[in-house]
Chain A
Amino acid sequence: MAVPVLHVALGMSVPFTFGMAAYAEKKRMTSRMLGLVLSFMIFCGAFAVVPDIPRYFPQKHSYLEKKMNGSVLSNIFFLHIILDKNEPEDEGLAEGASIIFAMLFIILVVSGKSAIGNEKEIMSLEKEVFPR
């Protein structure tokens, strides 16, 4: 059974990939795009750990826990069952955290590049609007 962080990382990687594909096409990260990518990353990260939620309330939801973790349908939650089967017991915290950190680092770098592009555009527009 993999730790939730690994599931979160896998969930976050999907909107991240789409965001990077959009960036590669547009060559610019707009604020709207960044907001969308981050919101979807949070949403998909949370969605990926839905089958693990009943585990935190074992007395109340043991039936739900068994059903969610035993069904193949739970793979809707970003291959939750497949990941649980392939990852050894309670491992993957460091791997998951590194994947999340790497994704957020890449987004920060890309945003920085876009900010430089924006600044250049502002400077050239200022020269046009206010010629000296």
Chain B
Amino acid sequence: MLKHITIGLFIPYCILIFLYVKKGYRLETKALVALPYVFLFCALWSIVPNIISFVPWGIGSAVAGNSFFNNIFFFHRALENIPTLESIFGLGLMLFILFSVFIIVLRHLKQQEREIEKLKRLR
């Protein structure tokens, strides 16, 4: 399950990095506010087949077994068949993604604080 969550996080992370580089290493506050919710949504979206499989009377497992249905959720079925993506690797990648996002957030907050200081001096 962890590897699915990691892949779910990896897609918005790539978009974030692309936007961050494209905008000259600056992040908009709106993007920063939306970021955790996008991460949460994508993480939950990637494990929908796992959640559905808990539905009783075989309905859940029948729906979750559908390959087309699975591919909407960040290639859930395809990822399940890759043995190299072990859980601990998933966790490592997840931590890397989250901590590198924090570096961007930290830089953004620092830039804002510097701007506040500058404006306070000018006042």
Chain A-chain B contacts (Cβ-Cβ < 8 Å), number:
87
Taking a contact as CB atoms closer than 8 A, the residue among A101, A107, A113 that contacts B94 in the complex is A101
Contact with B along A13-24 (1 / 0, CB 8 A): 000000000000
- Tell me the residues in window 52-95 of chain B with beta carbons closer than 8 Å to chain A beta carbons: 87-88, 91, 94-95
- Tell me, yes or no, whether B11 is within 8 Å of chain A by CB: no
Main secondary structure of the interface of B (DSSP, over half): helix
How big is the B interface, by class? 20 to 34
- Hey, which bits of chain B sit against chain A, CB under 8 A? 1-2, 5, 29, 32-33, 35-36, 39-40, 43, 87-88, 91, 94-95, 98-99, 101-102, 105-106, 108-110, 112-113, 115-116, 119-120, 122-123
Question: Is B105 a contact of A34 with CB atoms below 8 Å?
Answer: yes
CA distance in complex: A97, B105 (Å): 21
Interface contact A101-B108, CB-CB below 8 Å: no
User: Who on chain B is nearest to A5 by CB?
Assistant: B91
Q: Could you tell me if B33 and A122 are in contact, using CB atoms closer than 8 angstroms?
A: no
Most buried by A among B35, B39, B109, B112: B109
Residue A29 interfacial (CB < 8 Å): yes
Known: A108-B36, A118-B109, A126-B119; 8 extra A-B contacts, CB below 8 A, are A29-B109, A31-B106, A97-B5, A100-B95, A101-B43, A101-B94, A115-B109, A118-B116
Selected contact of B105 from candidates A101, A111, A128, CB within 8 Å: A111
